[in-house]
Chain A
Amino acid sequence: MSKLFPKSANRLPLQLGLFLLVLGSLAAAGINYYATNKYANVGYAPVQPVPYSHALHAGQLAIDCRYCHSNVEKSGFANLPTAQTCMNCHSQVKTDSPLLAVVRKSYETGEAVPWVQIHMVPDYVYFNHSVHVTRGISCVECHGRIDQMDVVAQAKPLSMSFCLDCHRAPEEHLRDTKDAAQAVTKLGWQHPGGATAQTAQGLLLKQNLNIMPPQSCSGCHR
């Protein structure tokens, strides 16, 4: 009687096991890389109705973020500017530009400019802009270097772990709001003393201002 299985078949279970291990690791690596906000959300840069350049306005002209997003210190929602805000300058600058036709129409008729929202958190997440910026968390922490973006793209994942990383160690990010040089809207500012000086300043601010970022569920899921 001839042999049903060749001798090499003895190694088959081991080889199959090894292969499954490789396949499993690859699948886990793929999910880890692709199935989070770092892949799904970062880089989202929708086409806007007006090709407004933050690099020009906030970067080159150095107009403060709050010139347009004027309620960010008072409101939980960082508002988009009214058409009148654009017209403050564009009633005299580039008055005939076809790119601004939507804004002019909005200013005349009161119809909204259909801007596309980029930075989104799920509806079950409570986020308040004013409490962050008035305590010295810069815009750059969540939005990146907007002042260098011609087209705004989401720079940070804005995932739960992203929020918690900062809520657990706010001292690495806190700025002194009394010091105009490190105003929250100065996106390029970094502590001249480096990370250690930043942490020292942050710890002091945290203590003095009694900053206790919530880490409990109901802090954000209310």
Chain B
Amino acid sequence: MRYLYLSTLLLAVLTVSVLGFRGTPSTRPPIELFPDMDHQAHLKPQAESAFFPDRRADRPIPAGTVSRDDLRDDDHLYLGKNADGTWARTFPAAVKLDAALLARGQDRFTIYCQPCHGALGDGNGITKQYGMTTTPTYFDEKRTKLTAGEIFNVISNGSQKTPEGRQNMLSYADKLTAPDRWAVVAYVRALQRANAGTVADVPADKRKELGL
């Protein structure tokens, strides 16, 4: 009887030493005890497919296709241009300039712009410490004079090419929809306005909070 217990104990110790404990990091794929229908034969997003020559399950949109509700016939909204091809100075009619737009702009700016441009828009984002040295400030003469359409265009298509033929900022059109880009434009304008602010802009009853 004693041997029976001893060998059981040995078996238990052996099991634990082979299988280890829960949560131990492992590079091996998880064991599937009951793999029934875990992997079904359908295409999954960003996954591989043996069917297509380029092995992508995600298919590119055929040229000339327009998604439903995505007809981009408004040059002001989608390109930042007036009917005559000049850069728009105003916001498109489809975008309502209000506090909600600015809040959305701030939200999107914090996610997509702040890492390089900084929370203030002075170009001193966290990435500057890691080698992104070309990020400019929004507050120099060149950039305060940009039209809204030009700012929209930079967000959509990236910055102008340098003499060496490269762009320091790439397009954010895949991350920000056109209305979101306009919201960011509005927020960039707000940052520029805030930077140009003086004590006179602060309401008298709020000055004390700022120690003025």
Contact = CB atoms under 8 A, between A and B. Distances in A.
B32 A93 contact: no
Given A61-B126, A64-B111, A93-B130, A42 B22 contact: yes
A62 interface: yes
B40 interface: yes
A190 interface: no
Given A61-B127, A92-B131, A93-B130, A43 B174 contact: no
B146 interface: no
Given A34-B19, A84-B174, A92 B40 contact: no
A44 B169 CA distance: 36
Interface in B87-110: 107, 110
Contact of B174 (A70, A92, A151): A70
A123 B42 contact: yes
Contact of A67 (B12, B112, B133): B112
Contacts of B8: 19, 22-23, 26
Contacts, number: 111
Nearest to A93: B131
A196 to B, nearest CB: 29
B189 interface: no
Contacts of A4: none
Interface string A116-145: 010010111000000000000000000000
B152 to A, nearest CB: 18
B165 interface: no
A39 interface: yes
B113 to A, nearest CB: 10
Contacts of A75: 45
B143 interface: no
Contact of B27 (A38, A47, A64, A66): A47
Most buried by A among B40, B111, B116: B111
A7 interface: no
A87 B167 CA distance: 11
Given A42-B23, A43-B23, A112 B56 contact: yes
B190 interface: no
Contact of A39 (B22, B40, B130): B22
A189 interface: no
Interface in A7-58: 15, 19, 22-23, 26, 30, 33-35, 37-47
6 nearest A-B residue pairs (beta carbon): A123-B40, A93-B131, A77-B45, A122-B38, A64-B111, A70-B175
27 contacts: A19-B1, A19-B4, A19-B8, A22-B5, A30-B12, A38-B23, A41-B30, A42-B22, A43-B24, A46-B29, A61-B130, A67-B111, A67-B112, A67-B115, A70-B175, A75-B45, A88-B170, A89-B127, A89-B132, A91-B167, A91-B170, A92-B132, A93-B130, A117-B47, A122-B37, A124-B38, A180-B107
